[in-house]
Amino acid sequence: YTVISGEGGGGGGGQLLPEQLGARTRSVSFHGESGGRRWFALPSWAHVAQALALSALLAALVSVALGSRGGRLRSSGTERREGMPFGGIRPTRNSTLGGGQGPSLWCFALMMPLGIERELLAAQLGRGMGIFGCDGYSVFSNDSFPLVAASGEPNSGRRVVTLPIGGSLTVGKGGKWWTAMNTDIFVRVWTAVFLLGRFRQHDWTVKADPDTVFVPSRLKLLMSYEPAGPVYINNCRFGLHGPIEVLSRGAVAVYADNPSACDGIQQAAMDLRPPFDDEDHAFGEDEFLKLCLELALHVRRVDEFDLLLSEKACGHWTDYVSCDQGKVAF
C-alpha cells in the first residue's frame, strides 16, 4: 500500500507519520512549479470523495497493521507469501476466526501468594486487562484462595479462585545469567495446565507473568493467520523469553501427551554443578520450554521479534518505551 502526502504552505499540520500506523509505509510527494509542489485541482465533490476514500483507507490500514507483519516459519518445505503474517501460511481449520474476533485465547499466570504479584493481578482483574482480557483464563499459585479485584476499579469486587500446584514457589538463582532456577516449578504448572484441559477449547495458550503488560486484542490480530499444527512463537532474537509464552493448541497437546520426553532437559536446567559459564545447565523455565518443545517434542518455532514482546533484555529499547507501536507485551 502507499500513503500519498504533501505539505501545504506555511505548516505541516495534518501529516500522518508512518510509525503512527504501526506498519511499513511509503510516502510519495508530488513536486511541481509553484513553491516546489504541485496540487491537483479537483471539483468540490471530488474532494469529498477523496476524503471519504482516504478515511476508509486509513481505517483499513490501522485494522490490519498488526496482521500485515509477522515472523518467519523456521522449517523447510513451507510455502511463503510476502505480505501475509508468518510467511503466508493459511489459518488452521479448527481456528475460531468467525465474527472478526480473531483466534481464541486461553491465558494463565503463576502468582506468588503474597506481595506485588498479587497486587498487580488484582488491579488487572479489576480492569479486565492482561490475562483477564482473554477468552478464558486461570491463575495458579501454591494454594487455593480468592483473588479479589482491587477497590476503585471498574470491576471492583470481582473474584477469581486460584488453582493450586502444590509445593513451595521459592527458588534460588544460578547459571551463567544468574537467572531464577524455576524450571521445576513451571513443570508443575504445565502439569496442572494439562490436567485442567482448558487449553483444548482454545486456539492459543498464553502464559504471561504477573508483571507483564499484556494486550490480548493485539495478540489476536497478530495470530489471525496462525501456522497450522503444533507451533510456538519465539519472542526474542536470543531465544524464548518468559514474560509471555504463546503456544498453539497442538503444541500444548504434544507436550501434554509426552511430558516425560523433557525429563532430561529438566534435570539439566536444575543442575548447578557444572562451571558457571556452562550454558547447557542451570537455566530458567523459558529456556527449558524452548529446548523441550524444539529438541524433545519437535514442535515448530515461529520467530516474531517485531510485535510480540518489547523487552530490554532482548535489545528492544534502552530508556524510552513506546506503547503505541502495536506491541503485544511489555
pLDDT in 10s for each residue of the chain, 330 residues: 333 343 344 444 443 333 333 433 323 332 333 334 333 333 444 454 455 555 544 444 444 344 333 343 433 323 332 344 444 433 443 354 444 478 999 999 999 999 999 999 999 999 999 999 999 999 999 999 999 998 888 998 899 999 999 899 999 888 877 888 999 999 999 999 999 999 999 999 999 999 999 999 999 999 987 677 999 999 999 999 999 999 999 999 999 999 999 999 999 999 988 777 778 889 999 999 999 999 999 999 999 988 999 998 888 776 777 788 889 999
* The three grid cell numbers given for residue 21, joined into one nine-digit string: 500506523
Environment class of residue 271 by beta-carbon count within 10 Å: exposed (0-12), middle (13-18) or buried (19+)? middle
Amino acid present at 325? Q
Angle, nearest 10°, between helix axes 249-257 and 183-196? 100
Confidence at residue 28, expressed as pLDDT on a 0 to 100 scale = 30
Beta strands in 177-269 (DSSP E): 179-180, 204-208, 231-234, 244-248
Confidence at residue 208, expressed as pLDDT on a 0 to 100 scale = 98
pTM: 0.71
Confidence at residue 318, expressed as pLDDT on a 0 to 100 scale = 66
* The three grid cell numbers given for residue 261, joined into one nine-digit string: 520426553
- For residues 245 and 103, what is the distance between their CA atoms, to the nearest angstrom? 16
